[in-house]
A and B are shown apart, each in its own frame.
Chain A
Amino acid sequence: MSQSPLSQPPLSQPPTNEPAVSEPAMTEPAMTEPAMTEPVRGEPRADSPVPAPPTGRHAHRAARTGGPNSGRFAGLAGRAAVLTVGVFFALLPFVWMVRTAFGPSQSALALSSNPIPESISFDAFTRAFRDGHLGRALLTGIVVSLAILLLQLLTAIPAAYVFAWLPFRGRGVVFGLVLATLLVPSQVTAIPNYVTISALGLSNTRVGLVLPFMTSAASIFLLRQYMTTIPVSVLEAARMDGLGLVRTLRTIVVPLSMPAIATVSVFSFLLSFNEYLWPLLEARSPEIATPPLALATLVASPPSGLPDFAELSAGALIISLPTLVVFLIAQRRLTAGLTGTGAGG
């Protein structure tokens, strides 16, 4: 591809509903802002029974250390109760999974609901790996998910850039069609895709597991939303410097969109790794079973006839680990973004 400046289509401000600059002082807030902040920063208000706290955060701290306002204290206690119960139930299945996996073998004949296992062993993990071929399944799952991720990035990033910055006639319609694919449930496409993959001779192969997920409208949309926030001046400068489309994409757009690319990657991996229906249809031979499929097989046909819940829990823990690790690595930036501390870029 040549890199003449002319080959680069002109940049356009994307027709987006994103605020150009969301500065508070644009229109009326100029009037309301002082009125809102001054009394808060200033001395206690007369009409208030309690001294007005300096800021929300300090107010909260005061309530936390047992301020005079009993209503606030009740609210705090209520909050703590809600959170305690919520965390308990959120974690209970995970705790139970770990507790069972490290405990002794548990068939329906010898079940125990003692929260502390009678003895600790890694035996269940060994058996789960052996009976469920989980090592092989994990490898398949990771390879397939990474291949899907790579394909999705390769297809979605250029498309997102076009939808963000390169207008052409009918772009709105095409973008609308891309978004429309989000409405189609995967179970509906599964049947024709099964036929397509069979016709391509890829049935029961790893490629067949990957191909239907080669692109994702969700990723395109998310990346496009993020790319619209790249300052137009940066892209204009790239054009002045004579960078062609591909080089602009590679050296400017991709590095600037890294936060969005990272987020898309995490969710793509989580979704692909946990996908159940498609591998269930496609992976007929156990050699290419993905982790959820391998575990489901172990559930359906336990080697000893009766399901051993220690072994199954160990298996569940094993196949949860890759996504858990990815999630733990990613959650800091995800939650940072959620709480707004990641803002300001």
Chain B
Amino acid sequence: MTRRAGAGPRTGAGGWRIGALLFPALLGLTVFILGPALVSAFAAGTDKTLTGPSFHWVGTANLREAFGDPDFGRSVRNTLLYCVLTVIPAVVVGLALALAAQKVTRGSGALRLALFLPVSANLVAIAVVFAYMFDPSGHGLANTVIGWFGAGPRNWLGDEATSLPVVALVGGWRLTSFVFVVYLAGLTTIPASVYEAAEVDGIRGFARLRHVTLPLLAPTTIFLAVFTTILTLQTFETVAVLTHGGPFRSSATIVYYIYEVGFTGSFRIGYASAIALLLILGIVLIGVLGSVLGRRARARAARVESDGADAGVDGAAGAALVGLGVAGAAAPATEAAR
């Protein structure tokens, strides 16, 4: 590491010390994330298979194959439908729950715990329970419930029409809890003074929700929309346990297809990498779009809030943190920091 006059370390020793402190983390990130990402990008242009001897460059053949591959097309359509079926309900319901839970004083601990639980759930374990609730026999829970309304039993997971929605229900159930956690954290960053000012101006109820709360939450909302979309684009576990992508590929998502191509059958790592590359491109695009929208929303929120000092901070810090499934972590850290 080089030294910068004045600002940098005063001794050479300080320089290598910094290097030593950083080295383990940078090694891990380089070897297991950045490196693989680059290798993957390279492999996308080869016909590498797991057992195949070497990387043989085939140019854009894999990408061209992907665009003509009906199974890939199907997985993209399934994934997009899955996103719509999970993200929109999760954000709406999660927001409603957070707004409702915000003011509860008595028993709030138990209430929050109950609503947080799905976040901590093991997806494989939950998938098992949902498979049981949606059992095709007439005595399964779902079939019993629709039986009350006179409908005959359905083969939920074995039917092309319902397999994906049921898988999306499992994902959406967990995602809603996640959204709730993040919104609850977002609500605590709105200063009480803003509400007091609204009260003085006679703004209450739905008017306050529309003109005060929602604009101030807009950065959180945009972050959540973008992040949960990115998260659901990578759906894998629920599909792998509940349906194996079936029946007739009706519930195969992009990542499940990558798994099938790269790790089963003929282990076509090159082709799997090409599809993964397309997925990353999509994710980066959404991420960029999100950060542009997020910046605008934060600017607007700062104008709504009279002393707009902290809204943006929590938006930014919370966003990146929560991004990794460390949802609750963001809030305690930034809160305790005050």
Chain A interface residues (CB < 8 Å from chain B): 1-2, 6-10, 12, 17-19, 22, 24, 26-29, 32-33, 35-37, 39-40, 45, 47-48, 52, 56-57, 60, 71, 75, 78-80, 82-83, 86-87, 89-91, 93-94, 96-97, 100, 106, 108, 111-113, 151, 154-156, 158-159, 161-162, 166-170, 174, 177-189, 191-196, 211-222, 225-226, 229, 245, 249, 259-260, 263-264, 266-267, 270-271, 273-274, 276-277, 280-281, 291-292, 295-296, 299, 309, 312-313, 315-317, 319-320, 323-324, 326-328, 331-340, 342-345
Contact = CB atoms under 8 A, between A and B. Distances in A.
B29 A181 contact: yes
Interface stretch (B58-66, B73-81, B122-130, B212-220): B122-130
Contact of A189 (B37, B50, B259, B337): B37
Nearest to B125: A316
B151 interface: no
The B contact surface, by secondary structure, is helix
Given A93-B129, A96-B129, A296-B241, A36 B193 contact: yes
A49 to B, nearest CB: 10
B26 A94 contact: no
A155 B326 contact: no
A154 B28 CA distance: 11
Given A37-B193, A167-B4, A316-B125, 7 more contacts: A28-B306, A90-B118, A94-B121, A188-B36, A193-B36, A215-B28, A338-B331
A187 B43 contact: no
A9 B18 contact: yes
B116 interface: yes
Interface of B: 1-4, 7-11, 13-15, 17-18, 20-22, 24-29, 31-37, 39-40, 43, 50, 93, 96-97, 99-101, 103-105, 108-109, 111-118, 120-126, 128-133, 135-137, 139-141, 143-144, 173, 176-177, 180-181, 184-185, 188, 191-193, 195-197, 199-200, 202, 204-205, 234, 236-237, 240-241, 255, 258-259, 262-263, 269, 272-273, 276-277, 279-280, 283-284, 287, 306-307, 309-310, 312-313, 316-317, 320-321, 323-326, 328-338
B116 A218 contact: no
